[in-house]
Amino acid sequence: MAPYDYVIVGAGSAGCVLANRLSEDPDARVLVLEAGGRDRHPNIKIPAAFAKQFRTRLDWDFNTEPEPHCFGRSIYVPRGKSLGGSSSMNAMVYMRGRPQDYDAWRDAGCPGWGWDDLLPLFMRGENNARGASELRGAGGPLQVSDQRSPRPLSRRFVAAAERHGIPANKDFNGGTQEGVGLAQVYQRNGRRWSNADAYLRPAAKRSNLTVETGAQATRVELTGERASGVCYRDDRGREQIARAEREVILAAGAIASPQLLMLSGIGRAEHLRAVGIDVVVDASGVGRNLQDHPYVVVVYESTVGGSLADAERPRSLLEYVLRRSGPLSSNIAEACAFVRSDPTLEQADLQFHFGPAYFVENGFADYNGHALTIGPVLISPRSRGWIELASADPAAKPRILTNTLAEPADAAALVAGVKLAREIAATEPLAEACGRELLPGPELRTDPELEDDARRRVELLYHPVGTCRMGSDDQAVLDSELRVRGVEGLRVIDASVMPQTVAGNTNAATSVIADRGADLILGLVAAAA
């Protein structure tokens, strides 16, 4: 196999951006290795069907170790396994996070990563259906749209939250994030618009870009202290090596990128030796600092119908086929609210997702009837977890422990969120639609009871980040240009680089990380001092 200039591992949210940007140079030969397959399945394209991808061939289907603060439960962690990665599987909510999130990165030793640095990139990538403004972009590859057919139940939730005292917010990515409103989504004409649609597909016609699916990376090939290529198994199970003359870029996500570093001998020396891997770089931060957004759902019967229980009926299917509207165009998490669990906090620590549906146990649980779900999500978790190798076998899933709710303040915030969800549900016009409380159940009233319930039912919102964080301290895996410390020609560019998670859904932030990463590789921005 002839050498490439750049070998990118992963065609997910970050990898698609990188493939597009790096192949803009016609003299650069770019290879993308994607372990999954194509993104043609209808459960990818139809918005309301996203959870039907879970635990199928489109999903990496990870699970945590028994979580010590959640009664020893193993928590499910889905990750997209197709072109587009998790941007082909997520709930399509477009959310940047707060300016303070990025300024905290900058202030923690990551110059060039503050809000003022990144806002132009957010705007450059965005094609907002509302048009350009001082803070919003138009003409970019990422289609950001208003929902075509939000359910009346979602509007009831927004109105009830406003009546309860939460301010209206028509744009969570405008001047302020706090408040309640309908979410904007990654959709075009009622169809999912993934990063593969936005970035990879337009670049695929370029002769200098090669995308290989069914290609499972097994380790980074090192020549001395330099990354010289990637070892992988192709779609027939044959061992291959893709050579990189300029750089190897891991864009495999917050679980697979640290796994690949460790398989390549880059990680905590004691752990690598324990699983039989020779140590190349003793980097104790690899796989640490794992963060995700925990949530717990409050669910009611809907006495007025109007939920997504009718989404698969022939009339709804016909409406979607003919008009790309109706229940099947729903992203399920139709409305959001950003609130403070404690009024003395400086900023919101909870994000509510409202779904006009029975969405329990990641959508696996069934309910015979109409229901609605309010899910308070902790967006500023204090708890931190880790990822380690189960063995030296690249095919073995890594060990994951999130330590969800290890910090008492995290549990207290979720309990406050459950109580607020109940208060909103008791406020008109939502109260009229709320019948019996299905979860957590009216018999649970006290804070200890609700905390116990939260630990028994808490799930994760599919936003793992932080496991190859950038920074200037000894525990940072990467420098502020996303270069792996101790290895030349190797970068990590995906959600794993975040020092701390952002307040809200993480796909927009991941896309911008890749966009800035491409600028750094191409020398289009100067390294920040």
Half-sphere exposure of residue 247, counting CA atoms within 13 Å on the CB side? 22
Nearest 5 degrees, angle CA 447-CA 332-CA 51?
A: 95
Dihedral sign, CA of 260, 264, 269, 272? positive
- Counting Cβ atoms within 10 Å, is residue 165 exposed (0-12), middle (13-18) or buried (19+)? exposed
Catalytic residue among 69, 164, 353, 463: 463
- 4: part of which helix (H) or strand (E)? strand 4-9
Q: Cα(336)–Cα(178) distance, rounded to whole angstroms? A: 10
Q: Of the candidates 447, 250, 328, which has an alpha carbon nearest to the alpha carbon of residue 50? A: 328
Q: Cα(31)–Cα(19) distance, rounded to whole angstroms? A: 8
**140 in Cβ contact with 127 (< 8 Å):** yes
Task: Decide if 353 is catalytic.
Answer: no
Residue with tokens 């906090």: 345
Residue with tokens 């994760």: 460
- 203: part of which helix (H) or strand (E)? helix 201-203
Q: Cα(122)–Cα(167) distance, rounded to whole angstroms? A: 25
Distances (CA, A) of 408 to 150, 351, 419: 36, 19, 17
* Catalytic center residues: 463
